[in-house]
Chains A and B, each alone.
Chain A
């Protein structure tokens, strides 16, 4: 095992222990992120009232499958690092982490991964329950889930890096989380959280394909709901790899420049 992996393993096991301490809070937090489920009910109602029981090829059951899948994928993409960094920079609690010979980013990353593992079994139970209630149907092809896993890992890492970069804006601003909230709205809209991307005007779709959002949320959800192909998944992974490279560079640059501005307030 390389020295880096050894460090990451210890960080991960410590963060996992920490997340199990917060398991009750994680469940409550999960339940608060139910926008997908609200949208599911809205669109299911619209489809049931539409002539032929469908809107652009989506039946009520299709909407249930799609939005439950966006909820599932969205839960795996949850990132809160911008809030943590905003607090750490402004309160000076970043200082003890800066004194260690390891980039503090890895502590945050391992914490997020550990939280996903604590969250995962609860998600499965809730998705199963909601799917039964809403009569949703999911793909049974194992290759779909392998592709979803790849898209989610890439998508999560891309999102983690952009949120990390946004959080680091606290080196310059009074509060960096306001930027994060604006970006979340774009992520939710173009990612397909409010409606499948195909429902948007063509010009919006033309812009969206140049962003990482549809490939990290809408695409894996569509795969699970049987509305996208494995070929599209492969293309989506390539796009996400490109964005990953971009955000790795952005994060490193913001970190290096921002550290010169750090005031280490109160610590």
Chain B
């Protein structure tokens, strides 16, 4: 594979990963059968994914559980060796795990930790300072900055096991970014956090991206993470990339049309509202309905002409609804291609 051009931070071509999975029937008989005749088969977790990311780009990497998001991130961070295809991150082949590569990346896993459980987080930071060979002045400056932005004051000297989930996640983020990596793989960084803590993590990632022009790939089941941070979305389902584009284009993938919200001056019946679109709902003087994407202007004009409207807004459907549709499409595509 030739080196990617300098304006490409991550280059992925036909990346594949399959696993051998052993099967066993439940119970004693199943165990005995498996002992003498162990059955196994290959499962494709990632089936030929390709994309490029520019330096400083923030990308939301979405898909249902088991779609291949985390497997892809593990291959891009060098944890897993691909079964096929190639990847280059910051100019390096991840699977070789060369030191200059490892110094330029980080992988934050919301459900795994690198902090030493029985010691204060500061001890883990000192270990990272030594291992990443961070100069003392840079370490102090970064710590000062992270302490302020993430609100780490007062928690750095507490044992990690005595921290709350939110406090621990903030320390995990600080530990993972202490060496100022240029490429961030964030796998569910806000999982289990309350709304305020989610927002502070998002603000921190946004700030880090802007200050260091870091490339960020973010997976999350919280759509608020994605809409707050990413302009570009990659959607993977059943190991296949089913969408690559911006948020607005993603919404256009929906066959459900656009949502029109109305604030009325006079009440209206559900039957009457349904004449203008589908999925109509009425709640007092508030109402909403869906209209076909190609007829938004005409339907809105009719609504304004026919009804006593105080306010009217047109919105894309909720991103969750679009995702649900896309995931279904991905499954059909995978089945059609004979994989799965």
- A225-267 CB mask vs B (1 if < 8 Å, else 0) is 0000000000000000000000000000000000110111011
In the complex, A17 has a CB within 8 A of chain B: yes
A21 touches B119 (CB 8 A): yes
Residues in A whose Cβ lies below 8 Å from that of B80: 262-264
B103 touches A18 (CB 8 A): no
B126 touches A266 (CB 8 A): no
Residues in A whose Cβ lies below 8 Å from that of B97: 98, 259
B105 touches A99 (CB 8 A): yes
A21 touches B132 (CB 8 A): no
A95 touches B79 (CB 8 A): yes
Q: How far apart are the CA atoms of A21 and B103 in the complex, in Å?
A: 31
Q: How far apart are the CA atoms of A9 and B132 in the complex, in Å?
A: 14
Residues in B whose Cβ lies below 8 Å from that of A262: 79-81
Q: How far apart are the CA atoms of A267 and B131 in the complex, in Å?
A: 21
Q: How far apart are the CA atoms of A92 and B133 in the complex, in Å?
A: 26
Query: Do A11 and B133 form a contact, CB below 8 Å, given A21-B118, A101-B103, A267-B112?
Result: no
Residues in B whose Cβ lies below 8 Å from that of A18: 116, 118-119
Q: How far apart are the CA atoms of A109 and B313 in the complex, in Å?
A: 64
Residues in A whose Cβ lies below 8 Å from that of B111: 266-267
Q: How far apart are the CA atoms of A264 and B74 in the complex, in Å?
A: 8
In the complex, A185 has a CB within 8 A of chain B: no
- A22-33 CB mask vs B (1 if < 8 Å, else 0) is 100000000000
Query: Do A14 and B123 form a contact, CB below 8 Å, given A96-B113, A263-B19?
Result: yes
In the complex, B189 has a CB within 8 A of chain A: no
Q: How far apart are the CA atoms of A263 and B112 in the complex, in Å?
A: 15
Nearest Cβ in chain B — how far from A23, in angstroms? 12
Please report the number of residue pairs spanning A and B whose Cβ atoms sit closer than 8 angstroms. Answer: 77
Nearest Cβ in chain B — how far from A263, in angstroms? 7
A3 touches B126 (CB 8 A): no
When the two chains form the complex, which single residue of B74, B77, B132 contacts A101, counting CB atoms closer than 8 Å?
Answer: B132
B131 touches A100 (CB 8 A): yes
Those of A4-63 within 8 Å (CB) of chain B: 6-7, 9-11, 14, 17-18, 21-22
B79 touches A100 (CB 8 A): no
- Residue of B with least CB distance to A99: B107
A7 touches B119 (CB 8 A): no
In the complex, A211 has a CB within 8 A of chain B: no
Residues in B whose Cβ lies below 8 Å from that of A267: 79, 109, 111-112
Q: How far apart are the CA atoms of A102 and B98 in the complex, in Å?
A: 10
Interface size class of B (residues with CB under 8 A): 20 to 34
Query: Do A17 and B123 form a contact, CB below 8 Å, given A95-B109, A99-B79?
Result: yes
Residues in A whose Cβ lies below 8 Å from that of B132: 100-101
Those of B52-80 within 8 Å (CB) of chain A: 74, 77-80
A101 touches B113 (CB 8 A): no
Query: Do A98 and B78 form a contact, CB below 8 Å, given A3-B133, A18-B118, A21-B119?
Result: yes
Interface residues of B, Cβ cutoff 8 Å to A: 19, 74, 77-81, 97, 99, 102-103, 105-107, 109, 111-114, 116, 118-119, 123-124, 126-133
Given contacts A21-B118, A95-B79, A99-B106, 19 further A-B contacts (CB under 8 A): A10-B127, A10-B130, A14-B119, A14-B126, A18-B116, A92-B112, A93-B112, A96-B109, A96-B114, A98-B97, A99-B77, A99-B114, A100-B102, A100-B128, A101-B102, A259-B97, A263-B80, A266-B111, A267-B109
Would you list 20 pairs from A and B whose C-beta atoms are within 8 A, ordered by A residue? Answer: A7-B130, A10-B126, A10-B129, A10-B130, A14-B119, A14-B123, A17-B119, A98-B78, A99-B79, A99-B105, A99-B106, A99-B114, A101-B99, A101-B102, A101-B103, A101-B131, A262-B79, A264-B74, A264-B80, A267-B111
Interface residues of A, Cβ cutoff 8 Å to B: 3, 6-7, 9-11, 14, 17-18, 21-22, 92-93, 95-102, 259-260, 262-264, 266-267
